[in-house]
Chain A
């Protein structure tokens, strides 16, 4: 079992919900990312998604697009992100999920990535633009190296598709809260509850929900429906707006305030 599986077992045992934090690795620089991850962890993040910057991020809104541009400017590649993971692992056992578009993976090589990611201490991988239909070889390669494959389920997904997502997913299933790209929203779509229910019918895996979550109230609203919630753009925006020395402190405090949305946890 990976650190992701262990995390969700522990959360269940302790009757707690998980907070998953996304950041684009290499933003503002590869050297800074480990320190930002540690700040998120201090603030209470239970799992970190390391986004791999890509030149053509079709699923991302402007905030994460700009983060990707900054990371690419700073010379970040998929190999760089694995190096960042190695450095995080020197001092932390926080579960790490690689969050990437497919083309850098194709270029790197599936088997090589699975091997190197495992060596770097990566626990899971999520491809934003690879449907389950195209994922057979990918899932097999990752599972050989004990890396979880997390797939997305969306409000538009048909029952047949949800079954495929359940079949290929390990670790947890990532529910997309609404149609659209990544980015903060004032209110969360009512489509989450039906999606949660449909997904529960086809899997026993933990469920996390993401896209559009930026406030403690969102965390509170969703926390009683799923095992974990994901916050991305709201964190990345802080990185964009406060790149100075106070950044780590701000990230830690914001993460703590998000986590407070779950209420008093054991």
Chain B
């Protein structure tokens, strides 16, 4: 199972390369360049140095004592990706891909962003390594993540608003792909999740595997045994696959992905791909997709912009088919409550995305006495302050 994907980028039936012909040769070139870089000690050593000295790895695995005590069950550890430079796990992948772009001789980097965390991380590494940077972002997301829009501009990136479709992550990816199709000669597309055409799902996973590898060593040191569950939120699924991968070969470790349950069960009210989704093709990959009966991609909703996407990454679809990972959903309200609870028990204000993983933890911890959970705290909540303010009006008397 660990040797996945095959040479065509398939995880079982999922994944693959579904892009216009114009992009096929560049994607093959990208795959070759990545495989060479992956096996090049100089590349890995430069990346490891930046992860340590620039991004702040390793991140702590923190025992959440008061949260655990308040739930009265499992011992809960938080993998503190929120403490990384730029405030989320996204920087792991951005550093890796930007070094790859430099190696490939590109001068311009484009990216899509939902919550803005990937856009900020991309703008950051572009400033660090001297790339021109353009970030595509849905206008709806720009409205709800204003702070990150300004951070990107401060870092020298151009933020291009996308007004088509639902004006969210999906539409930003389409626009980034159109840019890439047009400027493929000098431009590197720095995709931010474990999505899209091969080799992206594999490459993005590889750059985030460090999360699980560290956590595995840290929990063995802290508890002398592996955890009973590893829990992470899943939009495209980059932070989750990064955490899960080190534990796939350990059958005693339950792998639990938490999707955005949004505000209702009906299509369009959530981004839980296993709630009515079916396999389909979107933006380069074959995987579980929220769509209508005619194969038109459905609109999605989540309070969390980073989870608001119609497709789950192909490796997650495969892990679920294999029965190796389980996928559940947390609603907007549950995520908001979890964020407040974590803030008050541990002094840690999580990103709304990560709050979905915390919400599932809150549900299952009380009945899991004696168990150990690792929860990926993939990002910090500063970017979500406006949304928290809207939802916790009692804390903000006018």
Are B294 and A58 closer than 8 Å at their CB atoms?
no
In the assembly, what is the distance between CA of A152 and CA of B289, in Å? 26
Are A56 and B184 closer than 8 Å at their CB atoms?
no
Interface segment among A27-35, A43-51, A153-161: the answer is A153-161
Are A129 and B182 closer than 8 Å at their CB atoms?
no
Chain B 150-165, CB-CB to A under 8 Å as 1, else 0, gives: 0000000000000011
Q: Give the chain B neighbours of A55 by CB distance below 8 A.
A: 165, 296-297
Are A165 and B296 closer than 8 Å at their CB atoms?
no
In the assembly, what is the distance between CA of A129 and CA of B23, in Å? 10
In the assembly, what is the distance between CA of A218 and CA of B182, in Å? 20
Within 8 A of A (CB), among B242-269: none
In the assembly, what is the distance between CA of A107 and CA of B280, in Å? 7
What distance in Å separates the Cβ of A239 from its nearest Cβ neighbour in chain B? 19
In the assembly, what is the distance between CA of A165 and CA of B25, in Å? 13
B291 at the interface (CB under 8 A from A): yes
Are A154 and B21 closer than 8 Å at their CB atoms?
yes
A246 at the interface (CB under 8 A from B): no
Chain B 99-117, CB-CB to A under 8 Å as 1, else 0, gives: 0000000000000000000
In the assembly, what is the distance between CA of A105 and CA of B286, in Å? 13
What distance in Å separates the Cβ of B377 from its nearest Cβ neighbour in chain A? 32
Given contacts A106-B280, A134-B17, A179-B22, contact A56 B174 (CB under 8 A): yes
B208 at the interface (CB under 8 A from A): no
Are A158 and B25 closer than 8 Å at their CB atoms?
yes
Name, among A55, A128, A131, the residue most crowded by chain B CB atoms within 10 Å (CB to CB): A55
Of A58, A79, A102, A165, the residue contacting B21 (CB under 8 A) is A165
Name, among B8, B16, B278, B294, the residue most crowded by chain A CB atoms within 10 Å (CB to CB): B294
Are A130 and B18 closer than 8 Å at their CB atoms?
yes
Of B19, B21, B294, the residue contacting A153 (CB under 8 A) is B21
B281 at the interface (CB under 8 A from A): yes
Closest to A175 in B: B21
- Interface size, chain A (Cβ < 8 Å): 40
In the assembly, what is the distance between CA of A108 and CA of B281, in Å? 13
Are B170 and A104 closer than 8 Å at their CB atoms?
no
B24 at the interface (CB under 8 A from A): yes
Chain B 66-96, CB-CB to A under 8 Å as 1, else 0, gives: 0000000000000000000000000000000
Are B182 and A58 closer than 8 Å at their CB atoms?
no
Are A105 and B294 closer than 8 Å at their CB atoms?
no
B181 at the interface (CB under 8 A from A): yes
What distance in Å separates the Cβ of A7 from its nearest Cβ neighbour in chain B? 23
Given contacts A55-B165, A133-B8, contact A107 B18 (CB under 8 A): no
Of B16, B25, B171, B295, the residue contacting A108 (CB under 8 A) is B295
Are B17 and A106 closer than 8 Å at their CB atoms?
no
In the assembly, what is the distance between CA of A79 and CA of B24, in Å? 29
Q: Give the chain A neighbours of B284 by CB distance below 8 A.
A: 129
Q: Is the interface of A mostly helix, strand, loop or mixed?
A: loop
A261 at the interface (CB under 8 A from B): no
Chain B 290-314, CB-CB to A under 8 Å as 1, else 0, gives: 0101111100000000000000000
Q: Give the chain B neighbours of A131 by CB distance below 8 A.
A: 17-19, 21, 24
Of A61, A102, A107, A154, the residue contacting B178 (CB under 8 A) is A61
What distance in Å separates the Cβ of B236 from its nearest Cβ neighbour in chain A? 15
Of A104, A134, A151, A156, the residue contacting B296 (CB under 8 A) is A104
Q: Give the chain A neighbours of B280 by CB distance below 8 A.
A: 103, 106-107
Of A104, A152, A155, the residue contacting B294 (CB under 8 A) is A104
Q: Give the chain A neighbours of B184 by CB distance below 8 A.
A: 156, 179
In the assembly, what is the distance between CA of A61 and CA of B164, in Å? 12
B371 at the interface (CB under 8 A from A): no
A57 at the interface (CB under 8 A from B): yes
Q: Give the chain A neighbours of B8 by CB distance below 8 A.
A: 133-134
Q: Give the chain B neighbours of A108 by CB distance below 8 A.
A: 294-295
Are A157 and B25 closer than 8 Å at their CB atoms?
yes
Q: Give the chain A neighbours of B289 by CB distance below 8 A.
A: 103
Q: Give the chain A neighbours of B20 by CB distance below 8 A.
A: 58-59, 128-129, 152, 154, 176
Within 8 A of B (CB), among A224-261: none
Of B18, B165, B185, B283, the residue contacting A179 (CB under 8 A) is B185
In the assembly, what is the distance between CA of A102 and CA of B28, in Å? 20
Chain A 95-124, CB-CB to B under 8 Å as 1, else 0, gives: 000000111111110000000000000000
Given contacts A103-B297, A134-B18, contact A157 B24 (CB under 8 A): yes
B47 at the interface (CB under 8 A from A): no
What distance in Å separates the Cβ of B187 from its nearest Cβ neighbour in chain A? 10
What distance in Å separates the Cβ of A9 from its nearest Cβ neighbour in chain B? 26
B235 at the interface (CB under 8 A from A): no
18 pairs from A and B in contact (CB 8 Å cutoff): A55-B296, A58-B174, A58-B177, A78-B295, A101-B281, A103-B281, A103-B291, A103-B297, A104-B294, A128-B20, A129-B18, A129-B20, A129-B284, A131-B21, A151-B21, A156-B25, A176-B21, A179-B184
The 9 closest A-B pairs by CB, nearest first: A107-B295, A104-B295, A77-B294, A154-B22, A180-B182, A152-B21, A55-B296, A156-B25, A55-B297
- A residues sitting closer than 8 Å to B (CB atoms) are 54-59, 61, 65, 72, 77-79, 101-108, 128-131, 133-134, 151-158, 161, 165, 176, 179-181
- Known contacts A55-B165, A59-B178, A79-B294; 8 further A-B pairs (Cβ under 8 A): A58-B177, A106-B295, A107-B278, A107-B291, A133-B16, A134-B17, A154-B24, A161-B25
